[in-house]
Amino acid sequence: MDALDLARWQFGITTVYHYFFVPITIGLSLLVAVMQTRWLQTRDPGWLRLTKFFGKLFAINFALGLVTGIVQEFQFGMNWSDYSRFVGDIFGAPLAIEALLAFFLESTFLGLWLFGWGRIPEKLHLAAIWLVHLGTVLSAYFILTANSFMQHPVGYHINPQTGRAELTDFLAVLTNKVQLVAFPHVLAAAWMTGAAFVLAFCLWHLWRSTDRTPAADKPMYRKGAKLGAWALLVAGLAVTVTGDLQGKVMTDVQPMKMAAAEGLYEDVPEGVGAPFSIITVGTLDGREEIWAVTVPKLLSYLATGSMEGAVEGINHIQERYELTYAGSELTESEDYRPVIPVTYWSFRIMIGLGMAAMAVAAGALWVLRGRGSEHDETRMVGSRLWGWAAAVVLFMPLLANSFGWIFTEMGRQPWLVMGLMTTRTGVSPGTTGAEVLTSMTVFTLLYGALAVVEVGLTLRYGRAGAEPVAEDLSLDPADRTDDDAFVFTY
């Protein structure tokens, strides 16, 4: 492997890892904010306990998202300096705005929320967690603005003197049509992940015997599970709708990616209707199939919105691109096809896991129906099915997010910026393979060790459950004196 391959692997490893914590953070901050709002509305101690329980788990996950995010801010310059030089004029702006608008908001108000229990007025404290969530949403918007430029560059021209891309229309960059469908899709997928996190831990406590999770706590977890399940279903619906819209935009601006999602090699003309295979057994890249479950005309619908719309195949697009992009160092490539097995399978795994999570949520709502008699509260105890459901539902949207990004970014290859610059030409020319190997090894080992610690702490706090709240403990600063110990400090 040379410096280019290593830099790509490093970017993939660090980014996929970072992105485990991003959707959890975006989603969980919303769910915690909702729980805390319910607590102030109803004064039901159950909501306060859930707020603190998931607040702790949120903080554990936020920490890793934060520290691994620092790497992302610098990695473009470290490993992709020619890319940074080429698009910095456009790509740097949303990154800087993200830091200024989103990171300051998240970090300052998370500090206020974590350390503010009992030290700032209750309503201000509630506002702090909502502002943390707002920060995560803004962060998603601006980083997706930057990413959408890579999928579909708009609002720029190439300066003939410098050969670099320069901004001509910032509004066009901010409202890139890829961005307009990707942002709601990514945001809803993150909410789904946070909702699944809440659902999973609440289901698990409903499933546990009453020796371990007191019977008196079951109604609280039932409330939490219902909140998580409803949120998951609503967010899942939004993911489905926006994902469908994305398919049309993708066909328009990145037809190769759409064709690669199905492994469609030959054109399907208007009026025929291209099928979509749910699952294929055959060669990995879908060239020859032995056995497959296919839905007729579905690919045409996904790609064009019409059952019989024409879909361009991989081979034809390859020929077209060879003619269009030959002759320039920045855009020339032997092969304009992404790695088909990766795009084919990641696309299916993404959709499958998302659907499965929604099925679990719907099932949970069915089992938890009713008004909450004692029978309802203990219906899940010891059930093998629900024990498994609790364990796997946590990972379904989480991994669906990962595979979605793997599809999006691997499907963009060999382009770094679609139609303008291949990945090969963006790498830092002065950075040696030994340097990148060093950093990749260091990050991989460090991230691996931190994953063990993080998962250990998440399970530890998840297993302990929502801590009881003392009757006499007021969280209103007016009821507390300067001599009282803090509710929370490091």
Cα–Cα nearest to 116, from 96, 99, 131: 131
For another protein, the closer CB: 67 or 410: 67
Least distance (Å) between residue 232 CB and another protein: 25
The span of 20-28, 87-95, 196-204, 245-253 binding another protein (CB under 8 A) equals 87-95
Selected from 24, 285, 461, 475, the binder of another protein by CB under 8 A is 461
Residues touching another protein, count (CB under 8 A): 85
Give yes or no for residue 388 binding another protein (CB under 8 A).
Answer: no
Give yes or no for residue 68 binding another protein (CB under 8 A).
Answer: yes
Least distance (Å) between residue 65 CB and another protein: 10
For another protein, the closer CB: 66 or 410: 66
Cα–Cα nearest to 193, from 352, 66, 353: 353
The span of 108-116, 199-207, 271-279, 308-316 binding another protein (CB under 8 A) equals 108-116
Give yes or no for residue 237 binding another protein (CB under 8 A).
Answer: no
For another protein, the closer CB: 12 or 282: 12
- CA dist 411 and 273 (Å) reads 23
Question: Which residues touch 243 (CB under 8 Å, ≥6 apart)?
Answer: 185, 351
Least distance (Å) between residue 427 CB and another protein: 10
Give yes or no for residue 9 binding another protein (CB under 8 A).
Answer: no
Written as six digits, the tokens of 240 are: 């489905």
Least distance (Å) between residue 55 CB and another protein: 12
The span of 249-257, 279-287, 294-302, 460-468 binding another protein (CB under 8 A) equals 460-468
The span of 40-48, 74-82, 234-242, 285-293 binding another protein (CB under 8 A) equals 74-82
Question: Which residues touch 88 (CB under 8 Å, ≥6 apart)?
Answer: 164
What's the per-residue H, E or C state across 32-48?
HHHHHHHHHHHCCHHHH
Subset of residues 150 to 189 that bind another protein, contact rule: CB under 8 A = 159, 166-168, 170
Give yes or no for residue 26 binding another protein (CB under 8 A).
Answer: no
Q: Write the CA distances from 41 to 27, 35, 50, 116, 385, integer angstroms.
A: 21, 10, 14, 19, 35
For another protein, the closer CB: 115 or 395: 115
Least distance (Å) between residue 234 CB and another protein: 30
Phi, psi values for residue 353, rounded to 5°? -65, -40
For another protein, the closer CB: 55 or 286: 55
Is residue 274 within 8 Å of 300, Cβ to Cβ? yes
Give yes or no for residue 16 binding another protein (CB under 8 A).
Answer: no
Q: Say which residue the tokens 């961005």 belong to.
A: 179
Is residue 333 within 8 Å of 414, Cβ to Cβ? yes
Strand partners of residue 417: 421
Question: Which residues touch 254 (CB under 8 Å, ≥6 apart)?
Answer: 151, 152, 411, 412, 418
Least distance (Å) between residue 91 CB and another protein: 7
Least distance (Å) between residue 344 CB and another protein: 35
Give yes or no for residue 111 binding another protein (CB under 8 A).
Answer: yes
Per-residue binding string, another protein, 421-440, x by CB under 8 A, is -------xxxx---x--xx-
- CA dist 303 and 317 (Å) reads 15
Give yes or no for residue 196 binding another protein (CB under 8 A).
Answer: no
Cα–Cα nearest to 80, from 419, 449, 428: 428
For another protein, the closer CB: 161 or 373: 161
Give yes or no for residue 386 binding another protein (CB under 8 A).
Answer: no
Q: Say which residue the tokens 């607040």 belong to.
A: 55
Q: Say which residue the tokens 């660090």 belong to.
A: 14
For another protein, the closer CB: 101 or 245: 101
What's the per-residue H, E or C state across 372-437?
CCHHHHCCCCCCHHHHHHHHHHCHHHHHHHHHHHHHHHHHHCCEEECCCEEHHHHCCCCCCHHHHH
Subset of residues 114 to 153 that bind another protein, contact rule: CB under 8 A = 114-116, 119-120
